[in-house]
Amino acid sequence: MDITDIRVRKINSEGRMKAVVSVTFDNCFVVHDIKVIEGQEKLFVAMPSRKTPDGEFKDIAHPINSEMREVLQSAIISKYEEVKDFEDSKETEADTASSPEE
């Protein structure tokens, strides 16, 4: 199974949740609402989940083995950083363009 598309749908600059992404597999199956979270030491990926009646969160979809989890997490974080860098450079350009020249 190949990851054929990763879309960073929302980027947050505030709080620990940094982004919400959708991942497409083999151009035929998509998983929405995967979250990029800022942990104590690094970014990590949280799979979509729902809250059970007893207050516990259960994943709706998740990798079965650690190898797939690592492939998925690496691809998502790489795409997030690419999009974030692009957004940051656009903001820098806008700030530069709007500041008066001396």
- Is position 31 within any domain? yes
- Is position 28 within any domain? yes
pTM of this structure: 0.82
Domain that holds residue 14: 3-96
3-class SS of residue 101: coil
How many separate domains does the chain show? 1
- The CATH number of the domain where 68 resides is what? 3.30.1120.40
Q: What is the mean pLDDT of residues 40-46?
A: 94
- Is position 30 within any domain? yes
Phi-psi region of 74 (alpha: psi -120 to 50; beta: other; left: phi over 0): alpha
Taking every pair of Cα atoms in the chain, the longest distance, rounded to a whole number of angstroms, is 62
Question: Token digits for 75?
Answer: 């691809």
What confidence tens digit (pLDDT) does each residue in 44-76 have? 999 999 999 999 999 999 999 999 999 999 999
- Is position 45 within any domain? yes
